[in-house]
Structure 1
Amino acid sequence: MDYFVYFLIKKWYSFSRIHKFQNIYKMVIALSTQKYKYFDFSLVFFLFLLMICSCVTIFSAQKYAQYDENFFVKQMIWFSLGIVAAMVVFLFDFEQISTVTPYFYGVGIMLLIGVLIAPESIAPYRNGAKSWFIVPGLGSLQPSEYMKIFLIMMLAYITNKHFEKQDRDQIKQDLVLLLKIAAASLVPIVLILLQNDFGSSLVMVVITLAVIFLSGINWRIILAILFLIIGTIAVLVMIFIHNADLLLNIFGTYQLNRIYSWLDPFEHGEGIGYQLKQSLLAIGSGMIDGKGFHNSDVYIPEAHSDFIFTIVAEEFGFLGASFVVSLYFLIIYRMLGIALYARSSLFEFYICIGMVALFTFHSFQNIGMVSGLVPITGIPLLLMSYGGSSVIASMLGIGLVLNSSLKKREYMFSND
């Protein structure tokens, strides 16, 4: 009898222990499900579609490439590394990310300086710009692409720290914040301009303005900035019309030639306007439904890189081009939704806003320049154009945005 009781107690203990572990397992699954319940899978899906479009289009475009490389395979490698980089971001919360942000910003500045002072054997000139390090076995590293993300993080860090200590309603404090933002932005912008990379510096200006306009700074200051921007553009246009040579003191010959080719690409079609002329011919020849995959026949230099959208328009026509544009719209829309959802945390909010500004300007500028709407600036179409630095940096920024979407914020006295 005693043995039988002992046997029952042992079985009960064994069962209860298993049951306990089962409850723990169920609790972990529930917590995990709750955590990822608010993860933005829609954004991931749109990004996945964009990556597929990129690989398919690059596979077709590389037949025009001036280099003996398989850009299709290398782009898949960059996407894989970019996904890993984005996943690494999930290992950290935003308090940790905020702590290391100044260090990343400092590393980015050091890399920009390094490009300028490095010998041409390490940092050669390409298309009139000295913006890349040559990395044996991997290709090239473009610090300005990473600096865009580091700048977004730094501006979010500065704005968040400022509002933790200051009153938003004081104009004097608004001016202090404006000076902090301007100082943090001016350093990388000047360094990139010295590299003769006007396009990347313009991107950073747009990111800075987006943060300023949404930082809660007094509207009088915002209005003064707008008038200053409009006045500067008007003066530059007047100088270009009456004495364009004066602009050589600000812009190089390479940038001015791009403006001339933009104004009349067919007049300069055998020289500086050749690339834009070919781009317009390719886009126009695609018509509604395109010529079909791998059937493009209009030669375009750097088609796999900055002019990747021309391959989309030529081979898949207006329908294919509209699909790609719609993907960018949906990606920007989802990131904007995450930004609005994260507005209770200023650091996360301004990171999301910076990424919205980055993707919006890149897509507008790149698609506009290949279709002749705006001058050519040489910036890539994010996550479509070939390029390791651009892909990995963009995925790092996307990882920050997705990290912000991971959690649902609880508000006291809220019924939600």
Structure 2
Amino acid sequence: MKKLMESNFDEKLVISILLLALSSCIAISSSQKYQQYEQNFLLSQIIWFCLGTIIVLFIFVFDMEQIRKLTPYLYVFGILLLIFVLFAPNTIAPIRNGAKSWILFPGIGQIQPSEFMKIFLILMLAYITKNHKEKIGMGSVSQDGKYLIKIFFASIIPIYLVYLQNDFGTSLVMLVITIFIIFVSGINWKIIVGFLGMAISVIALLVLLFLYSPNTLLLFMDTYQLDRIYSWLNPFQYEAGIGYQLSKSILAIGSGMISGKGYYGGQVYIPEAHSDFIFTMVAEAFGFIGACTVIFFYFFLIYRIVAIAIKQREETFEIIICIGMIGMIGFHTFQNIGMVSGLLPITGIPLLLMSYGGSSVLATMFGLGIVLNISYRTKKYLFS
């Protein structure tokens, strides 16, 4: 405890995690009034947070150099799990909501390997970046080209495997994590400009195809995904079918107004409210004030990770891990809140540390545990 107090350990990050965990339990408890399932999701979520705390404490056994050496093994282990999910029989890897992403453990529950793969990918990209800077260097087009090739192959494998599981949301998160890390890695600005130009061109092409030749999109999208876009643009037109959840979510958020309807005062029934649509429960029960409070907790969480990253000076491995976590948490928050309020298409991305889900909670706590370990082992300088 004395070492902890004398170190750079970021207790404010711990407070932000606790605030989000408490908010999650309150929101999940409120959502259970619909009794869609017999399971007590609140009790399960508390257990997941307790297990996540144990994982965080276990991570402190290792220093960052040991974690760096373990990174390739964790990455390969994650890839093997993703492959196993694809080829395992449905009795072991069941299909849920059209996606085959879970491994069933009798008596324990289901684990989603892709959630942990996001953290393994962050570690692997940090590992590659550090090694490349030390052995080859960065700044020139040739050096950065070699770096991008390494990053491409390290990220495309898990992204593609998750996409094959029909989990577009998680594969999109991995892509965003990769882009975040590339942009802060120190590569030549000419390459960044080229990337931005390509990204804008691809987005513009997709929009034009959707407007003038939507059937062309079916070459790399299925009909269900295309229908999700239509229902996002006009949810109330598809309210009886695919747009049901989104239309009810918009009504619930709007009906919460400024201060909400109260803890158990929600009146709009939303399927799976305890999961991806947990923010809707917050907005309906506690209104604009409650929704803004939760958003502030996420801003504070990201701010603390940024503060930890700034203290790392030249520690590339640690900095990239922090940036990867910022990208992951930031995108999850932006996308989830955007999709439940109708601003963005529904992609099935949970609100980290808020939505119910053992794999999501454990994986996020694993990543935040590494960030806390980084803060604990940050050296103090006399003239810092």
Same fold, judged at TM 0.5 (above): yes
Identity, in percent, stands at: 57
Report the counterpart of residue 310 of structure 2 in structure 1: 340
One-letter amino acid matched to 1:269:
E
Whether 2:216 is the aligned partner of 1:246: answer yes
TM-score, normalised via structure 2 length: 0.98
Whether 2:112 is the aligned partner of 1:138: answer no
Displacement of 1:208 in angstroms is 0.2
Pairing partner for 2:20 from 50, 56, 65:
50
Alignment of 1:226-237 (within 5 A): 226-237=196-207
Displacement of 1:343 in angstroms is 3.6
Tell me, in whole angstroms, the C-alpha distance in 2 between the residues paired with 1:209 and 1:307.
Answer: 26
Give SS of 1:306's match: coil
> Are the counterparts in 1 of residues 117 and 158 from structure 2 also a CA contact under 8 Å?
yes
Tell me, in whole angstroms, the C-alpha distance in 2 between the residues paired with 1:343 and 1:66.
Answer: 50
One-letter amino acid matched to 1:148:
K
Report the counterpart of residue 248 of structure 2 in structure 1: 278
Alignment of 1:345-384 (within 5 A): 345-384=315-354
Report the counterpart of residue 95 of structure 1 in structure 2: 65
**Bigger radius of gyration among the two:** 1
Displacement of 1:62 in angstroms is 2.0
Q: Which moved more, 1:197-206 or 1:336-345?
A: 336-345
Report the counterpart of residue 157 of structure 1 in structure 2: 127
Report the counterpart of residue 77 of structure 1 in structure 2: 47
Report the counterpart of residue 255 of structure 1 in structure 2: 225
Displacement of 1:33 in angstroms is 3.3
Tell me, in whole angstroms, the C-alpha distance in 2 between the residues paired with 1:32 and 1:280.
Answer: 45
Whether 2:190 is the aligned partner of 1:220: answer yes
Give CA-to-partner distance per residue, 1:144-174, whole Å, 9 cap, x none.
1000000000000000011111122332111
Cα distance, 1:32–1:54 mapped onto 2, change above 3 Å: closer
Tell me, in whole angstroms, the C-alpha distance in 1 between the residues paired with 2:267 and 2:91.
Answer: 36
Report the counterpart of residue 8 of structure 1 in structure 2: none
> Are the counterparts in 1 of residues 124 and 154 from structure 2 also a CA contact under 8 Å?
yes
Report the counterpart of residue 383 of structure 2 in structure 1: 415
Structure 2 unmatched ranges of 5 or more = none
One-letter amino acid matched to 1:111:
L
Q: Which moved more, 1:366-375 or 1:110-119?
A: 110-119
Cα RMSD of the aligned pairs, angstroms, is 1.2
Report the counterpart of residue 83 of structure 2 in structure 1: 113
Displacement of 1:210 in angstroms is 0.5
> Are the counterparts in 1 of residues 312 and 378 from structure 2 also a CA contact under 8 Å?
no
TM-score, normalised via structure 1 length: 0.90
> Are the counterparts in 2 of residues 83 and 395 from structure 1 also a CA contact under 8 Å?
yes
Alignment of 1:195-214 (within 5 A): 195-214=165-184
Structure 1 unmatched ranges of 5 or more = 1-28
Give CA-to-partner distance per residue, 1:265-312, whole Å, 9 cap, x none.
000001000000000000000000000001111000110000000000
Pairing partner for 2:36 from 66, 77, 81:
66
Give CA-to-partner distance per residue, 1:1-42, whole Å, 9 cap, x none.
xxxxxxxxxxxxxxxxxxxxxxxxxxxx7545323xx11111
Tell me, in whole angstroms, the C-alpha distance in 1 between the residues paired with 2:143 and 2:102.
Answer: 39
Q: Which moved more, 1:251-260 or 1:76-85?
A: 251-260
Give SS of 1:76's match: helix
Cα distance, 1:272–1:93 mapped onto 2, change above 3 Å: same
Tell me, in whole angstroms, the C-alpha distance in 1 between the residues paired with 2:378 and 2:278.
Answer: 38
> Are the counterparts in 1 of residues 100 and 165 from structure 2 also a CA contact under 8 Å?
yes
Report the counterpart of residue 34 of structure 1 in structure 2: 6
Tell me, in whole angstroms, the C-alpha distance in 2 between the residues paired with 1:301 and 1:53.
Answer: 20
Aligned residues: 384
Runs of 4 or more above 6 Å deviation = none
Pairing partner for 2:155 from 181, 185, 210:
185
